[in-house]
Structure 1
């Protein structure tokens, strides 16, 4: 039993058992509070007001006045303090604060006697274990008393420092890649705006100008094909994938595969078949208006309330269409067409009514190739980020007890 206090992976020269202690005995902990939202003079000042979803951010949505801080139970924390989210969906999230500001009651500030970077990663490693033990069915909140009662295993300070230093360098590498990705995303967004408003124009191979762009309705060059009403009771674990609105990802430009369902072959399926590279759009539900590129190798079926963009004019380059649909030009027009109700929805004819300015086919190809290169670089960065996170997660399991 005592051997469980030795991690699987250690630096040479360290072999002693790790100590075990309650977090409340090796840390000072406090939470904050929220000023009354009915008193406007408590907000709009210069003090960042950190809420649980912002513990790892460099800025905040809300700011307090000095009066707001003094007349509430909000508490100040310093840049470099260890913050732990204890309420709702963010319960168990942990970060070292990047700013000095005030915290609300959904956050604990932990000032440990042990190395804080070590403790941060110990809390990350044990997040699921903590939530499963103290939150029934994933519902409810943690508390200061619960966190104080957590039994932390930790080595000598020199070993803590080695672990902390190593993991900090991994985190810095991840953050560097994330910043590069954010900058490239911002660059692409800006350059797309300039391209689709024709502030930037491409030239022909001989250096001459391309003809003026021509404004059309999307319906003149594409058909938005609606899906088939597949019977949910006939969904299977194998067969042909059925792409539903839940498979249109909110996180990236590709299909969400975690909740894929499958179906047997249907007759006359040509209108409802999706192939790799096809562009899809959610037409109802929480992801209404969100588009995804179908990136799986096998063909799939199109479920109802998912739209498939089908090219019907040779004047349209499909890769250009994809870039346009992911642009703010398309999204802003789409937003004005959304039908609000119990849940938003949009029709094929609505989408086909959206205006698109079309350059000559060759210029479309040049634009698409340029933007696709940026997308490829973004995908490479994302792959590197996810790879590092997975590698770090595997290491954490072996470096902590």
Structure 2
């Protein structure tokens, strides 16, 4: 078998025994909820205490309990094999294949369809097994046995045939503890990002409701903000898509973006992956948008806002502000805030687009002094840089984990 590049030593500094290849069915008990059990003995409810875990409840190595069904009135005497206990591993085997999670509580969960239960034997660490299922080892096994049909699926028989690498229990424990430390670091950074983004929402609300105000260079209050209509303080330019069937329009030197190239949570980043030619600009409705323009997604992906960091062109999904009387970054944050309010106020309905006329008629309350606009823009940009720094750390640690999994599980 392949030898892992990264190994642990025992407490005396000696090598542990070589890893062994094992069939998953030899180191664990694997079962699912049978179809007849589900139809005859399971009763779904919208409230209760006992949860039936479906495929949608197993995501990203954890239980997602945002949408659950309860089965308190079911015939539990007929469902003994589907009862779940602490450290049982759940594995989705139909549709979305390969999602896993560990059970963390007794007397709370039962199996639902499309999820199987893997209960490890005494010589196996449950957390180690979870990490095995995150590795390329299991991905290769899934691909080997996956049925090629309209509904991808694995049989219990084939899941039991999965080949897994198994060190001695003591080394499993060390691997599990080590990788859990890395995961804890990742989780902590994710929590920091979530908290920062929540703080940012509060800061935006306080800033644009004028509860948070800045002082001028002499420590005095700035003048009261004034109402303005967006269309009175800027110019607008639309976009378009050159014909994709005409090759000479593409792979040029002019960046061209669609709404998917903008991120949701920042105005400062654009992912540019496509370029067009001057001939494409001349023969389509797309336009040259200057650097430092405000890009507003007004059709597919309504609500995204960004500042162009270079000269570029956009698709017809955009309404672009090419000139503005004021601090561009300030207005980008303000418009992002206003667009998010628009989407939140219409939550539950499908927003297919907002017209240029509607955007021009957006009413704003803004600082009369551009120096106050600049202070707000600098303050919010600094907060975004703090979030970006944490996101960079998160990606760094995710890459570390990926590398560790590749070195440990070969």
- Name the CA shift for 1:251/1:188 in 2 (closer, same or farther; >3 Å): closer
Separation of aligned partners in 1, 2:265 and 2:102: 25
Residue of structure 1 in register with 2:93 after alignment: 86
**Is 1:66 equivalent to 2:72 in the alignment?**
yes
Separation of aligned partners in 2, 1:122 and 1:210: 60
Larger-Rg structure: 2
> After the TM superposition, which residues 2-401 of structure 1 pair with which residues of structure 2 at under 5 Å, given as runs?
2=1, 4=2, 6-12=3-9, 13-14=14-15, 16-31=17-32, 42-47=45-50, 50-55=53-58, 56-57=62-63, 59-62=65-68, 64=70, 66-67=72-73, 77-78=84-85, 80-89=87-96, 91-97=97-103, 101-102=108-109, 103-113=111-121, 114-126=124-136, 128-133=139-144, 134=146, 136=148, 140-233=152-245, 234=247, 235-237=249-251, 239-249=253-263, 254-257=269-272, 260-266=273-279, 272-274=287-289, 278-285=293-300, 287-294=301-308, 299-313=311-325, 316-327=326-337, 329-334=338-343, 344-360=352-368, 361-401=370-410
Deviation (angstroms), 1:237 = 4.2
Separation of aligned partners in 2, 1:35 and 1:367: 58
Deviation (angstroms), 1:180 = 0.8
Contact conserved, 2:292 with 2:328, CA < 8 A, in 1?
no
Contact conserved, 1:19 with 1:153, CA < 8 A, in 2?
yes
Separation of aligned partners in 2, 1:167 and 1:138: 36
Separation of aligned partners in 2, 1:383 and 1:357: 34
Quick check: 102-111 or 130-139, which moved more? 130-139
TM-score by length of 2: 0.80
Separation of aligned partners in 2, 1:385 and 1:120: 21
Q: Which runs of 5+ in 1 are unaligned?
A: none
- Name the CA shift for 1:251/1:195 in 2 (closer, same or farther; >3 Å): closer
Separation of aligned partners in 2, 1:96 and 1:206: 59
Deviation (angstroms), 1:58 = 6.8
Q: What is the root-mean-square deviation of aligned Cα atoms in Å?
A: 3.6
Separation of aligned partners in 1, 2:401 and 2:195: 24
